[in-house]
Amino acid sequence: MTTVNKKLDMLSGLGWMLDEELLAQRGVLRAMVLSADGLPVVCSKDIDRSQDIPRAMSERVAAAVTGLQAVSQESTEFASKPRSSEDEPFSAGPWQRTLIQYEQAYIIIIAARAGTYLAVAMSQKADVEAVSYQMEKVVDRIGDYLGLPPRQPAPSAS
């Protein structure tokens, strides 16, 4: 078993932490840890990946959230002061969080560890600041298990 597979197995058993730490917050609907390449890694209990419809939703949402994170990260230039050269880093610094607001809901996406993100969906009744703080605590708590290296292409069969 590869190191990545071992980490994925350990992470998949941590869904209870998303339930206890995040779903317990007022207005939180669901939570998910996903890989940078758009795969759900750990889901809260309401996203039972053993059932077809929730599994399809978790996979679609993971892909969409990864796209949102990528767009947010690529927008760093917009939030930065003008650079004096192409080699100079953007002044805004690395991406950390994206907040999406709907008429009656929110989604927050935060950087977890290298190669992983934590996404939480919540109703308008949620305290966004409190949920965001709790998300940081969850990342700190399960941080040792996070940080998935990029997947390597499968060796070709020769």
Residue 118: per-residue pLDDT: 93
144 has a pLDDT exceeding 70:
no
* pLDDT tens digits, one per residue of 20-77: 999 999 999 999 998 888 888 888 887 755 555 566 788 888 899 989 988 888 888 8
pTM across the whole model:
0.79
Distances (CA, A) of 67 to 10, 43, 80: 25, 18, 21
Token look-up 């209870």 returns: 16
Residue 2: per-residue pLDDT: 55
Q: Is 11 helix (H, G, I), strand (E, B) or coil?
A: helix
Residue 135: per-residue pLDDT: 95
Residue 59: per-residue pLDDT: 86
Residue 48: per-residue pLDDT: 57
What does the mean pLDDT of the chain come to? 82
Token look-up 């597979």 returns: 5
Residue 132: per-residue pLDDT: 95
CA 116, CA 154: separation in Å to the nearest integer? 21
Q: Phi/psi at 15 (nearest 5 deg)?
A: -60, -30
Question: Up-side HSE of residue 23: CA atoms within 13 Å toward CB?
Answer: 15
Distances (CA, A) of 130 to 28, 75, 90, 102, 142: 11, 26, 29, 18, 19
* pLDDT tens digits, one per residue of 72-112: 888 888 989 999 998 998 888 888 899 999 999 999 999 88
CA 69, distance to chain mean position in Å, is 9
Mode of pairing for the β-strands spanning 97-101 and 105-111: antiparallel
